[in-house]
Amino acid sequence: MSDGFTRQVVTFGRVLREAGMEVGAGRLADALHGLDRVDVTRQDDVYWTLRTTLVARREELEPFDRAFRAWFLSTPVSPPGRDQDPRTMPSGAQWTRSDARMRGDAPNADGEPDSVGYSAHEILRRKDFASMTHEEFAAARRLIADIECRRPRRRSRRLRPHSRGRTLDVRRLARGSLATGGDPVNRRFRRRAEMPRKLVVLCDVSGSMEAYTRAMLLFLHALMRAGRGVEVFAFGTRLTRLTPELVTRDPEEALRRAADRVVDWAAGTRIGVSLKAFNDVWGRRALTRGAVVLIVSDGWERHDPSLVGREMQRLHRAAFAVVWVNPLKGGRDYEPLAGGMRAALPFIDRFVTGHNLASLDELAGLLSGIERRHEA
Amino acid sequence: MNEAIEFSSIDDVEAALRAQSYLPERGLATSLFLSLAIGKPLLLEGEAGVGKTEAAKALAISLGARLIRLQCYEGLDVAHAVYEWNYARQLLHIRAAQEGSVSEEELFGPEFLIRRPLLEAIESTEPVVLLIDEIDRADDEFEAFLLEVLSDFQITIPEIGTIHAKRRPAVILTSNRTRELHDALKRRCLFHWITHPSLEREIEIVRLRVPGVSERLAAQAAAFVSGLRELDLNKPPGVAETIDWAHALAVLGCEELDPAVVEQTLGSVLKYREDFETVRDDTVLTLVQEARIAAAAAASVS
């Protein structure tokens, strides 16, 4: 292979990295190695060779194709599929707390008195996230990280040594009986261990939910540190998977990027469509099966509430339990009147609030001991 | 590790698989070719029923290699994937020897070892295609273990030592993406995403795999199924379903699709009750008409 060609492939790798793909030296070496073995005058073979060596997951196929078109075929590239250029959006508009719906009867939606006996800490615990000042939220942020998060558990299929197990551990038995001339004197047992249960979170990141979603993501961030098996998705007008970003990035930064991607500020929340996208892509891959599904949303569907009902039913059937967190439920005279919320209610096992620190604490407790309520 | 099994070109792979009645798209053929040429495992992902497992089987036969398949499931552990000691035999052996004269080395020697698929693939002296099927179903612990096997092609048994591959097996992993795999594992693999085949390709597949199917029926069945995939179904049918269905139709002696026979046999294509509700009578009618047109168009092209 000519030097020029090698250089071109290496530069192409850099282009891919800029597009957000992980292209390490190992993959590039594979690509060059592979190109050595195929007929490089055949464009399709070059394409497939680069694709099979440089792409590691399905989500990368689209950026790869775009980069390949731009780099090797020199056709003009259309910007990624978005309705709106991010640069034309009012900068930072989505992060100011100006949404009238959210403010509602705030500040101090709980009407918690600043009376003697409540420490400052306790006041903060009861304060609605939406009515917190910047400083208060910063303090809350630290408290959220301290919430003790235990994941829901399930019995694993994997057997582990256990003194009170029921299944004979023949491996240990045979080894132990060496000393006693083949007589199994000390019996050993195994039993099924407890494992964390899958937790799937669908977070509404539309403007009305901003303050709550921020708090919730901080909470989830802490939960994810407790191990694998937590999948987080964000939705507004569209759905996007947030898990990798939450693992590697600061949660607030991850939220900002997600909101950029899925929220079309003019179109309103589309819960039904987002749930459908989740069921179609991830539900079909059995992500929902046996999982605890946590939906964080105010239930304001601007479109067809019946779709919300239909998709909730699908979700509910596969899930172990469905928990809906609606921060507006914290308001005293809240009734689930939003059309989407009403359609979803029959398919919810637990309906909780998540509007302040105390309620997040409760949520953490609920998740760690959740049991199946509905029939499979 | 010598004379690795491989093909001389992508065209070779295509021809060899075709001879096994498996028609790969160019991309899959390229991936298989490179996987063998570079000596890296290939991770195949795609919807259920697009032929991931079949690809491995066809590859094994066309290479004249033995296919060793490890079906993954939750809770799969080393004892079922790699090796297990034959405890019953060990206990009997200790008993037979009496007087405690059995040494540990004797007891944990190769004759007491039960070889499971991974060890078998590593130890084999003949060419082997190792198929690790539905890796996403196994749990994290197993995936971590697999890393050692796939990067060094060696297995360590504490009582015996490290066993190196006599010849590197061709390795194919499949995943339905019920969960995301570890990056470390992905880094060790080439990757290919299999899609549903094009209509022309699918017609060809049906004709190749279903004996006694008429050309027209094959085309119409393939077109009908590809129409179904456009609908909003819980589980869009894969190529496997098309083949099953065409088979059923051929057995029933159909020469051509009609709505009545479709209603009778739709059970081999759709697997969910909701999907049957989505595909109502009038949908079937429309799809049959469209399939006839598409099939006729495909026939006039070829």
CA B121 to chain centroid, in Å, comes to 17
Chain A CA closest to residue B235? A284
Say yes or no for a CB contact (<8 Å) between B191 and A158. Answer: no
Residue type, A240: T
Query: Do A178 and A258 belong to one domain?
Result: no
Domain annotation covers residue A374: no
Q: Residue A103: is its pLDDT beyond 60? A: no
Query: Do A252 and A340 belong to one domain?
Result: yes
Distance CA A292, CA A45 (A): 44
Query: Do A187 and A202 belong to one domain?
Result: no
Q: Residue A69: is its pLDDT beyond 90? A: no
Percent of chain A with pLDDT over 90: 9
For chain A, what is the mean pLDDT? Answer: 76
Q: Which two tokens stand for residue B120?
A: 């078998």
Do the strands A239-241 and A199-204 form a parallel or antiparallel pair, or are they unpaired?
Answer: unpaired
| pLDDT tens figures, A162-193 | 888 788 888 888 777 777 776 777 778 888 87
Listed range (A85-89, A215-219, A246-250, A255-259) with the worst mean pLDDT: A85-89
Q: Residue A376: is its pLDDT beyond 60? A: no
Q: Torsions phi, psi of A325, nearest 5? A: -105, 115
Final residue of a structural domain among A72, A94, A129: A72
CB-based burial of residue A90 (10 Å sphere; 0-12 exposed, 13-18 middle, 19+ buried)? Answer: exposed
Residue A33 touches chain B, beta carbons under 8 Å = yes
CB A291 within 8 A of CB A320: yes
Distance CA A204, CA A239 (A): 9
- For residue B139, the number of C-alpha atoms closer than 13 Å in the C-beta half-sphere is 16
The arrangement of strands across the sheet holding A321-325 comes to A239-241, A230-235, A199-204, A292-296, A321-325, A350-352
Query: Do A213 and A293 belong to one domain?
Result: yes
Residue A173 touches chain B, beta carbons under 8 Å = yes
Query: Do A223 and A162 belong to one domain?
Result: no
Query: Do A343 and A235 belong to one domain?
Result: yes
Summarize the confidence of residues A93-98 as an average pLDDT: 35
Domain definitions of chain B by residue range: 10-74+117-194, 199-293
Q: Write down the residue that tokens 């456009």 correspond to.
A: B230
Low-confidence stretches of chain B (pLDDT < 50) are 1-3
Q: Residue A261: is its pLDDT beyond 80? A: no
Buried b (16+ CB within 10 A) or exposed e, A328-339: bbbbeebebebb
ipTM computed for the complex: 0.79
Listed range (A37-46, A329-338, B91-100) with the worst mean pLDDT: A329-338
In 3D space, the residue among B213, B279, B222 whose CA is nearest the CA of residue B247 turns out to be B213
Chain B CA closest to residue A277? B232
Indicate the residue of A56, A170, A228 with minimum beta-carbon distance to B140. A228
Domain annotation covers residue A142: no
CATH classification at residue A256: 3.40.50.410
Asked, as a colleague might, if the bond just before B24 is cis with ω within 30 of 0, I would say no
Q: Residue A102: is its pLDDT beyond 60? A: no
- For residue B22, the number of C-alpha atoms closer than 13 Å in the C-beta half-sphere is 23
Q: Residue A105: is its pLDDT beyond 80? A: no
Q: What's the pLDDT at A341?
A: 84
Q: Which two tokens stand for residue A356?
A: 């302040």
Distance CA A242, CA A231 (A): 8
CB neighbourhood size of A20 (10 A): 9
| pLDDT tens figures, B112-136 | 999 999 999 999 999 999 999 999 8
In 3D space, the residue among B81, B169, B84 whose CA is nearest the CA of residue B125 turns out to be B169
Helix/strand/coil for B245: helix
Q: What's the pLDDT at A95?
A: 34
Domain annotation covers residue A60: yes
Q: Is CATH 3.40.30.10 what the domain over B10-74+117-194 is classified as, yes or no? A: no
Distance CA B194, CA A58 (A): 10
Domain annotation covers residue A39: yes
What confidence category does residue A226 fall into, taking pLDDT thresholds of 50, 70 and 90?
Answer: low
Query: Do A269 and A358 belong to one domain?
Result: yes
Angle made by CA atoms A155, A159, A165, in degrees to the nearest 5:
90
- For residue A106, the number of C-alpha atoms closer than 13 Å in the C-beta half-sphere is 22
Listed range (A35-39, A85-89, A116-120) with the worst mean pLDDT: A85-89
The arrangement of strands across the sheet holding A167-168 comes to A153-161, A189-196, A167-168
- Which residues of chain A does B84 touch, with a Cβ-Cβ cutoff of 8 Å? 171
What confidence category does residue A239 fall into, taking pLDDT thresholds of 50, 70 and 90?
Answer: confident
Query: Do A341 and A207 belong to one domain?
Result: yes
Q: Which two tokens stand for residue A68?
A: 């390949």
- Which residues of chain A does B94 touch, with a Cβ-Cβ cutoff of 8 Å? 177-178, 181-182
Query: Do A186 and A206 belong to one domain?
Result: no
Q: Residue A120: is its pLDDT beyond 90? A: no
Domain annotation covers residue A129: no
CB A26 within 8 A of CB B187: yes
- For residue B23, the number of C-alpha atoms closer than 13 Å in the C-beta half-sphere is 15
Indicate the residue of B94, B176, B190 with minimum beta-carbon distance to A285. B176
* Residue B184, CA distances (Å) to A194, B164, B189, B200 in order: 26, 21, 9, 38
**Helical packing angle, B26-34 and A43-54, nearest 10°:** 60
CB A56 within 8 A of CB A26: no
| Higher-scoring residue by pLDDT: A70, B240 | B240
Indicate the residue of B75, B90, B232 with minimum beta-carbon distance to A174. B90
Domain annotation covers residue A344: yes
Query: Do A226 and A358 belong to one domain?
Result: yes
- Number of structural domains (chain A) is 3
- Which residues of chain A does B9 touch, with a Cβ-Cβ cutoff of 8 Å? 38-39
Name residues 45-84 of chain A within 8 A of B (Cβ): 45, 48-49, 51-53, 55-58, 61
Indicate the residue of B179, B183, B191 with minimum beta-carbon distance to A52. B191
| Higher-scoring residue by pLDDT: A11, A122 | A11
* E-only strand ranges, chain A: 153-161, 167-168, 189-196, 199-204, 230-235, 239-241, 292-296, 321-325, 350-352
Q: Calculate the dihedral angle through the C-alpha atoms of A38, A41, A42, A47, rounding to the nearest 10 degrees.
A: 70
Chain B CA closest to residue A200? B179
Query: Do A236 and A342 belong to one domain?
Result: yes
Q: Which two tokens stand for residue B245?
A: 């269905």
Distance CA A292, CA B171 (A): 35
Domain annotation covers residue A134: no
Q: Which two tokens stand for residue A328?
A: 């507006």
Helix/strand/coil for B14: helix
CB A211 within 8 A of CB A298: no
Query: Do A168 and A66 belong to one domain?
Result: no
Query: pTM surpassing 0.80?
Result: no
Its domain, for residue A190, covers 156-195
Q: What's the pLDDT at A78?
A: 44
CB neighbourhood size of A163 (10 A): 7
Distance CA A327, CA A363 (A): 12
Helix/strand/coil for A195: strand
CA B124 to chain centroid, in Å, comes to 21
CB A229 within 8 A of CB A199: yes
Residue B278 touches chain A, beta carbons under 8 Å = no
Q: Residue A97: is its pLDDT beyond 70? A: no
Q: Count Cβ–Cβ pairs < 8 Å, chain A vs chain B.
A: 116
Final residue of a structural domain among A167, A195, A223: A195
Distance CA B91, CA A172 (A): 12
